[in-house]
Amino acid sequence: MEAALRLAHLYPKLMNLYGDRGNIICLRRRCQERGISLVVDELELGDSLDPAAYDLIFIGGAQDREQRRVAADLLETKAEALHQAVAEGVVLLAVCGGYQLLGRYYRPAAGEELAGVGIFDAWTVHPGPTARRFIGNVVVRWQGGTLVGFENHGGRTYLGPNARPLARVIAGFGNNGRDGGEGVVQGENAFGTYLHGSLLPKNPRFADHLIVQALRRRYGEVELAPLDDALEERAHAEAVRLATRKAIFLKR
């Protein structure tokens, strides 16, 4: 298949806290091995986003200080285009801080509330500096299988009626440590999650899910050639083992 996809990586310099680059490396490689060229454009502060130019959009996580600057820039230069792109079926993946900023708002432990872009019908509240931070290995149930990753967030995210969780928590905390949900799916093509680790390399099924969606929109029905994922599956299985062992230990 002679296909080409274009990805907008939002704020790779500012929002790159937890190996987020691994997600891009993974997408690029999984496309390349199937003869699909993936062009990645890096968009920083002040850069405008052309909603018609992209098939995929990715945004990662950051420290609080950087997150504030990104929040302002998102609203100023990219919010409208993001809404338009998502409405037109562009595949969006937002991890950790990016997930929080694309919700309705983020209320930090201290300081002013940050207005979000509102792509996700979700909001995030940090319950204060003494509240427990959600840190650790995570396993969640997703489409009959599992996703694995590492979470590290103080904010608790809650979903509104127009969004649904991406997955159900098996081990770890997820969105808020209460309702068993992890991440968000808005419509069919916008995904938010707290899982890093990096997320996509160890979850090749999810990586391909994103690629297939992006291809379908541009080229119609497609089937991805299978890849040798022995190493990916092994790393996935190991992560499941480590996360669930820890969970059992905690319950005792």
Partner 1 sequence: MSAVSGLRTAAAVTMAKAAAVLSRRLGFGGGTALPGLVADAVAPGLAARLAARLGHGCVLITGTNGKTTTARLVRNIAQAGGFRPVHNHSGSNLMRGITACLIEATDARGQLRQPERRLGIFEVDEATLPEAAAALSPRVVAFTNLFRDQLDRYGEVDSVAAIWRRALAALPPATTVVLNADDPGVASLADACQGSVLFYAVSDIACAVDQIEHAADARWCPACGREYTYSAVFYGHVGHWSCPGCGRARPAAAIEATRVEQRPDAPLDLSLSTPSGQFELSLPLMGLYNAYNALAAVSVGVALAVPAGAMQKGVASFTAAFGRQERMIVRGREVHTILAKNPAGLNQVLRAISAEQGPKNLLFLLNDDIADGRDVSWIWDVDFEMLAGQATLLMASGRRAADMALRLKYADIDAHPAIEADTQAALEMALALTPEGERLYVIPTYTAMLKVRKLLARWGQRPPFWEEA
Among 146, 176, 198, 203, binds partner 1 (CB under 8 A): 198
The owner of tokens 């062009």 is 39
- How many whole angstroms separate alpha carbon 217 and alpha carbon 129? 44
Whether 126 sits among the annotated catalytic residues: the reply is no
Least Å distance, CB 201 to partner 1, is 6
For the chain, state the CA radius of gyration.
17
Distances (CA, A) of 25 to 28, 70, 141, 199, 226: 5, 23, 24, 11, 18
Catalytic-role residue among 96, 126, 153, 236? 96
Q: What angle do CA 139, 238, 192 make, to 5 degrees?
A: 30
Query: Is 136 among the residues that bind partner 1 (CB under 8 A)?
Result: yes
Among 135, 143, 178, 218, binds partner 1 (CB under 8 A): 135
Q: Which of 136, 137, 148 is nearest to 206 (CA)?
A: 148
Backbone φ/ψ region at 107: left (φ over 0), alpha (ψ -120 to 50), beta: beta
Among 108, 116, 181, 197, binds partner 1 (CB under 8 A): 197
Handedness of CA 155, 164, 10, 209 (dihedral sign): positive
In the shown chain, the binding pattern of residues 83 to 122 toward partner 1, with x for contact by CB under 8 A and - for none, equals ----------------------------------------
- Smaller CB distance to partner 1: residue 65 or 252? 65
Q: Are 43 and 73 in contact (CB under 8 A)?
A: no
Structure tokens at 76: 């100023």
Whether 96 sits among the annotated catalytic residues: the reply is yes
- Smaller CB distance to partner 1: residue 50 or 64? 64
Selected range binding partner 1 among 24-32, 157-165, 182-190, 206-214, rule: CB under 8 A: 24-32
Query: Is 247 among the residues that bind partner 1 (CB under 8 A)?
Result: no
Q: Which of 186, 151, 189 is nearest to 165 (CA)?
A: 186
DSSP state of 2: -
With CB under 8 A as the rule, give the number of residues binding partner 1: 35
- How many whole angstroms separate alpha carbon 174 and alpha carbon 165? 10
Query: Is 31 among the residues that bind partner 1 (CB under 8 A)?
Result: no
Query: Is 131 among the residues that bind partner 1 (CB under 8 A)?
Result: no
Query: Is 245 among the residues that bind partner 1 (CB under 8 A)?
Result: no
Least Å distance, CB 3 to partner 1, is 21
- Binding-site ranges for partner 1 (CB under 8 A): 13-14, 16-22, 25-26, 29, 63-66, 69, 135-137, 150, 152, 196-198, 201-202, 231-232, 234-235, 237-239, 242
